[in-house]
Amino acid sequence: MIKRGRRLRMNADIRDMVRETRISKDALIYPLFIEEGKGIIKEINAMPGQYRYSVDTMGKALEEVADAGIRSVMLFGVPAHKDEQGSGAYDENGIIQQAMRQAKKEVPDLVYIGDVCMCEYTSHGHCGILKGDSVDNDKTLPLLARTAVTQVAAGADMVAPSDMMDGRVRAIREALDQAGFTDTPIMSYAAKYASAFYGPFREAAGSCGFKGNRKTYQMDFHNRREAVKEVMMDIEEGADMVMVKPALSYLDIIREIKNVTNVPVAAYSVSGEYSMIKAAAAAGMIDEGSIVAETAVSVFRAGADMMITYYAKELAEMIDSGRIG
C-alpha cells in the first residue's frame, strides 16, 4: 500500500492543524537604537527601514511596537561621547539609562531589555577595557556589573550581557542581588560568534572603525561543542535565559543548545541577515515577505523560544493575517 503523506497537506485547514512549529508575537523582541541628542529620527543607511531615535522621539516607535502586539524591546545606546573606559555605559544618566526611565513613563507595558556591553561606549570599539591590544577580562567585569545595575535602577526589566567576558554573568548576578534586584532576570549572549554578519549593526550602534578584531572573546564559528560549554558556564553562573547569535547560520547551534538545556533559548537574527534580505528584495531577486517568514520559522523550528529581530513588526503582521503562526 502506498503511504500517502500528502493527505495532511491537501488544504490549508489541515496544514494549519498539523503544523509543528508555531510562532507567537509574545516570542518576538524588537531591537531599538537610542542616540544621544534631541529631535533625532535618522534612518540607518546599512539597514533600510531601521532608525536611530533620541529619547524625545522614541515614544512613537515604542507605541508602534506595542500596537503591533509585540511585548518586548531591546535597547541599544549611541552616546555622544566615547572614552577608553566606556564610562557612558555605566553612567547613571547615560543614554540607555535616560531612555529606560522615559520609556517606562511613555509605554510602561512593554518589557524593556538592556544590552549590557561597552563596545558602543569605548573610543576603541572593543567590549571591555584594553590592556595593550587585548581586552582585560577581569578589569572589565566590575564595569559590566555596574552597567547592569544602573540600567535596572533606571527601569530595565531584564539585562542581556553581550560582551563575552568570562565570569560576567556571575559578576552581574552578584551585583544585581546586592543592589536588591534579585528578581531581575539575565538573558546571556552565551554563544556569541565572531561573525561578519554584524557589519551593519556597527553603523547602527556607532561602533565602527575599531582596531583589531573581537576573536579573542567572541567565539570561533568553526566550533560547536564550545557553544555548549559557554552556555553551561553561564547557566551555572546564574543566567535565566541563553542566546545564540547570529541565528540563521547557526541553526545547528540553536538545536544543540535546546537539546541540552532546560532554560529558555533566544536567537538573535542580526543586522547582516536583515540587510541581505533587504538588498536582495530591493534588487527584485526575492519576495521579501516570503523570505522573512521562512527564515523566521527556521529559527523557531531549530528550537528557539524567542527571537530578537528587526523584522518583528512585519512578522507580527504575518501572524495576525495567518500567513505564519
258 is catalytic: no
Catalytic residue among 25, 245, 258, 313: 245
| Three-point CA angle 180, 182, 187, nearest 5° | 130
Which grid cell is 66? 506595542
The span from the CA of 6 to the CA of 317, in Å, is: 29
Q: Is 134 helix (H, G, I), strand (E, B) or coil?
A: strand
Q: Do the beta carbons of residue 112 and residue 155 sit within 8 Å?
A: yes
The span from the CA of 103 to the CA of 112, in Å, is: 8
Catalytic residue among 104, 105, 131, 192: 192
The closest alpha carbon to 317, from 14, 46, 23, belongs to: 23
The span from the CA of 266 to the CA of 40, in Å, is: 30
The closest alpha carbon to 97, from 36, 53, 41, 180, belongs to: 36
Burial 106-141 (b: 16+ CB within 10 A, else e): ebeebebbbbbbbbbbbebbbbbbbeeeebebeebb
Q: Give the distance from CA 191 to its chain's centroid.
A: 12
The span from the CA of 111 to the CA of 17, in Å, is: 31
192 is catalytic: yes
Supply the DSSP symbol for 285: S
Residue 290, CB-side half-sphere exposure with 13 Å CA sphere? 6
- End-to-end, the C-alpha distance of the chain in Å comes to 34
Q: Do the beta carbons of residue 196 and residue 152 sit within 8 Å?
A: no
Residue with cell 535596572: 152
Which grid cell is 205? 550602534
Residues belonging to the active site: 192, 245
